[in-house]
Structure 1
Amino acid sequence: MLHDSLKIGSVEGLLDQEEITHLQALISEGMGDGSRFEVADRSRSVHSLAGEGLDRVKEVYEPEGRVEYDELDPAVTKILDDAVARRMSDLQRVFPSARRSMDWLYVEYGAGQYVTPHVDYPFNEIAPDRPKIAALGIVLQEPDSGGSFFVETGGGNELWNESGDIKENANMHSPWFAEMRRTRWHVTCGVGDALCWGTQLVHGTEPVTAGRAGKFIGYLGA
């Protein structure tokens, strides 16, 4: 299971065109103009930092803001769960311990917006005995330019505990993490495609330079 959380994969065409069109309509209806979901104006974030307030969390993770739509219509999550279940055998080729999808969120980035390098971690607060194996990013809207997803790797010991799992606080708030050298691997995929990355992988996105990027983010659970 620990090994699965260090992998990366993809599922092309996870969503068909009918599902894409339906999801685009549901998201547009649910968000309206999107203003109430802008991180800069919200009283919460999906990210957190031990001992730090919300303003610092936003500064570390989304310094230029982004949309976080975490009040998804059950019709949205059903479409996503059904799509993942339909392709679970494909996902299990890379993540054999994965059993289900969960915890969906929609995020959107405008020009200049991005998320900084960080690690999600396998720990599942709701069900500690069922860790989060991998995250999924399913593209709903491609930007005109920029906004690529990346993972970062490093061959040194800085990221790892002696037990073989990743150190706590692997994010830009930690000086040791911000200062360490890492290699960045860029990835792009089309609307309806899914990227899947283990919950112990460093990842983030480059700034969008034109247009808007929209994607669903969820997890594969054991």
Structure 2
Amino acid sequence: MTDLLFEAPALPTLPVAGQSARYPVRRIFCVGRNYAEHAKEMGAEVDRESPVYFTKSAFALAASGSALPYPPGTEDLHHEVELTVALDAPLFRASEAEAAAAVFGYAVGLDMTRRDLQAAAKAKRHPWDTGKDFEGSAIIAEITPAATFGAVADQPIALTVNGTPRQGSGLGEMIWSVPALLAHLSTLYHLGPGDLVMTGTPSGVGAVGPGDVLEGTIAGLAPVRLTITAAE
């Protein structure tokens, strides 16, 4: 057994509906600008040539029902509700049919964003890392197996803040479908079990602050819930 200088953290895990075994999370890939109206509200062109990707650390993951202290370095924390796809098979240079067969299940996720830091990075043509990848920035609900959820069609996706609607659309409004996203991403990475793909958010994103309670929903999936608390 290899000696380590300090104890290595265990991989984060997510609950699975109807199962006692949990899903270990290896990596989190995210898709930007996958809804035309959201791209427009961000002042970006709708790019139908190629998906836009960024990543979050698996250790940015937080469970549904968490309380997230308002993160440091920002004065403009935004919510983004997303369909999240969990894989359970290897994918590399896959067809869309092969990609669809590698889906273990689906969950509702929140891509929390330090929008001011992201905007500053965009203005300087810098990476988005500080705006997107921070502790507690990926909140994922319980995973529902694909066989239970069925096909991704035009299921409603929505988010409320303190019970007031903020975001609302249908999954059919995604520019890139789940199989198309996975097939394309598999030309860039060796995907596999434990990989999550957050597939983009509809329009209506906005700021939240301490005391706000968020709930994201997709028909047929367990909701994701988050409470924002005071900064530490």
TM-score of the pair, normalised by structure 2: 0.24
Larger proportion of helix: 1
Which structure dedicates a bigger proportion of its chain to strand? 2
**TM-score of the two chains, using structure 1 as the length reference:** 0.25
